[in-house]
Amino acid sequence: MTVKRPEQHDHEGLAWVKSSHSAGDGGDCVDVAACLSGVHVRDSKDTNRPGLVVGGPAWTAFVGFARR
C-alpha cells in the first residue's frame, strides 16, 4: 500500500492571524494566513506541525457557513 503525503507548503513569511474567537485561556485556537495559493490554517497551540491550505472559494464558503 502506498500512502501519499500532502504537498508541503512553505509557511515562512506568512502573516498569521489568530482567530478572533480564541479565548486567552489556551483553549482550541486556529491561526490563518492568506496567500496566492489560498488560506493556510494551522493549530495555534502547535505551530510547528503542518497545517493545511484551503482554496479561496472553499474558505469563503466555510466562513459564510460558520457565521450562521
Q: How many CA atoms lie within 13 A of 29 on its CB side?
A: 17
pLDDT band for 36, please (50, 70, 90 cuts).
Answer: confident
DSSP reduced 3-state for 32: strand
Question: What band does 4 get if pLDDT is binned at 50, 70 and 90?
Answer: very low
φ, ψ at 66 (rounded to 5°): -65, -30
Which band of pLDDT confidence, cut at 50, 70 and 90, is reported for residue 44?
confident
52, 6 in Cβ contact below 8 A?
Answer: yes
Q: What is the pLDDT of residues 14-33, one digit of tens each?
A: 898 887 776 666 667 889 99
Distance CA 34, CA 54 (A): 10
- Predicted pLDDT at 3: 46
Domain limits of the chain?
30-66
